[in-house]
Structure 1
């Protein structure tokens, strides 16, 4: 089974480097048939350069594992373009936020689908891709393929994404990450600060209000882990103190953000239940205003 990595972003390039190093059968599906060469700097070890092998949608056979390490808002447009060429491929979505699952299931009903939450970290600057931290990946099937294909996919991903763990229900972990992202990402983007600066006293009132709204929504949805929201957030802020969030970087460089799939997702879920999240709505509107 060939791995097809969609895009040449930071994580896509990291995955290509891992495939190259491990000798896995893989191809990269880029915006154009001509791909960028990658100057790879692993977290540990010597740097090297390589040219990832390309694939076009027309030459896919139908039995590939497609990994989509894209921004959440890029998932649906990418799959709409690929839809005429998708037959029995297995899909893995790797992105921040939530909400793409229902979009993909509506577009491609019945196609095998898995979701992933990754803590892999990489920085891409032109052709230079630097692995900035080692982290694991949590995986879960939404629509598994037949058992033999399922085991083949899991074996491939166990090698490529090590350390990784498969879960019967990924939702609690998705919400745990969403809750962290819904505070750190927009606040650091709005105030133009590194993650660690959120530990300062001036931000604690806003952080507490945001956490309380997320906790209310999680209780209404019967999602586990409400008691862990505040300590987990503090832990991530401390552990990533020197980092700048992806949303901060998107705003800084004038790019579209994933706010619709982070705070926007929370707001929509609350509306569906007849609840309101005024602090998240205010933050959502502030980030949207920065994108205009």
Structure 2
């Protein structure tokens, strides 16, 4: 299978790398420094099970998706429409586009931009980071839940054979909400404190705070007619045990001076809560604090002096 990874950050490199390691033709589409490193040495996959240089192609432009059977779409949520527009002229008619993104509405937004393609939502459960150009570090897990389509079962079998446990579920949107709630609980707190989950979770007052954040999210989901599967409280508690060394993606973005996806995590819950009349004060506070932290220092200084 020919696979293109659009937005080859930590998530895309992990799943693309696993497919390449299994013998599939994979091209990573990413930033120049990362592409140059992969072209020169392959992708270093430093995982919990192996540490290998995995050879594969890499490119900086969207034209590299030409001929792909499967596109792993891994760009940041704010870039969904613009990246989809870039891909559209180069996508083969039969390519399946799998949205491996944070948030619950990316697949829907991407489908509107790519009306000739089949876009399938995916729920991603993996702890990864980029340790440098061409160097992926994996901290744990790696399974996927993907939505149904004519090709979803075949794609799931291909991923499973490559060492990625994958389930096809008609309840993928509910599962995306479950993932969103975990992100709402942990991402901003990890970013604000700059602590990994294993340090954050046992700190005084954090566990009831995590549950209170989850309660707000569940209330919004119910008001929105979404049934969230599983025991969310158990899932919140389990994150620190299964990913103790993981900093949230929001924390990683802030520490690298990059824009975060907080508008599509806690910010999404705030917007839906406001629209549905559900109060979400904790999510609103976390969203506001991260937005303040991601603002340039000069902007924060100007805002402070203007009080």
Q: Same fold (TM over 0.5)?
A: yes
Deviation per CA, 1:112-136: give whole Å up to 9, x if none.
0111112233332222223332431
Deviation at 1:101, TM superposition (A): 2.4
What is the TM-score of this pair, normalised by structure 2?
A: 0.81
Deviates more, 1:253-262 or 1:113-122: 113-122
Normalised by the length of structure 1, the TM-score is 0.85
For residues 106 and 8 of structure 1, do their structure 2 counterparts lie closer, same or farther at Cα, with a shift above 3 Å needed? closer
User: Does the aligned pair in 2 maintain the 1:7–1:30 contact within 8 Å?
Assistant: yes
* CA 1:43–1:104: 2 relative to 1, 3 Å: same
Native 8 Å contact 1:35 1:52 kept in 2: no
> Any gaps of 5 or more consecutive residues in structure 1?
none
Q: Which moved more, 1:91-100 or 1:17-26?
A: 17-26
Q: Which residue of 2 aligns with 1:165?
A: 167
Which residue is 1:139 aligned to? 146
Aligned counterpart in structure 1 of residue 131 of structure 2, from 96, 101, 125: 125
Which of 215, 218, 225 is matched with 2:218 structurally?
215
Shift of 1:249: 1.5
What are the within-5 Å matches in structure 2 for residues 14-93 of structure 1?
Answer: 14-31=14-31, 35-37=36-38, 38-48=43-53, 50-52=55-57, 54=59, 57-58=62-63, 60-61=65-66, 64-88=69-93, 89-93=95-99
Q: Which residue of 2 aligns with 1:99?
A: 105
Change (3 A) 1:252 1:57: closer
Structure 1 residues 170, 188: closer, same or farther in 2, change over 3 A?
same
Cα distance change, pair 202–125 in 1 and its aligned pair in 2 (3 A): same
- The separation in 1 between residues aligned to 2:230 and 2:16, in whole angstroms, is 38
Q: Give the length in aligned residue pairs.
A: 287
Give the Å deviation of 1:286. 0.9
CA distance 1:243–1:31, change in 2 (3 Å): closer
SS of 1:244's equivalent? coil
Q: How far apart, in 1, do the equivalents of 2:254 and 2:74 lie?
A: 20
- Tell whether the 8 Å contact from 1:27 to 1:55 is kept in structure 2 after alignment: no
Further displaced range: 101-110 or 29-38:
29-38
Going from structure 1 to structure 2, the CA distance change for 1:201 and 1:5 (only over 3 Å counts) comes to same
SS in 2 for 1:211: helix
Report the Cα distance in structure 2 between the residues aligned to 1:46 and 1:229, rounded to whole angstroms: 33
Aligned-pair distance for 1:140?
0.9
Q: Structure 1: how far apart are the matches of 2:64 and 2:129? A: 30
Separation of aligned partners in 1, 2:255 and 2:60: 32
Structure 2 residue 122 is matched with structure 1 residue 116: yes
RMSD over aligned Cα, in angstroms?
Answer: 2.7
Instruction: Please state how far the C-alpha of 1:24 moved relative to its aligned partner.
Output: 1.2
The answer as to whether partners of 1:186 and 1:248 remain within 8 angstroms in 2 is yes
1: CA distance, partners of 2:262 / 2:293 = 11
Describe the SS at the equivalent of 2:201: helix
Aligned residue in 2 for 1:248: 251
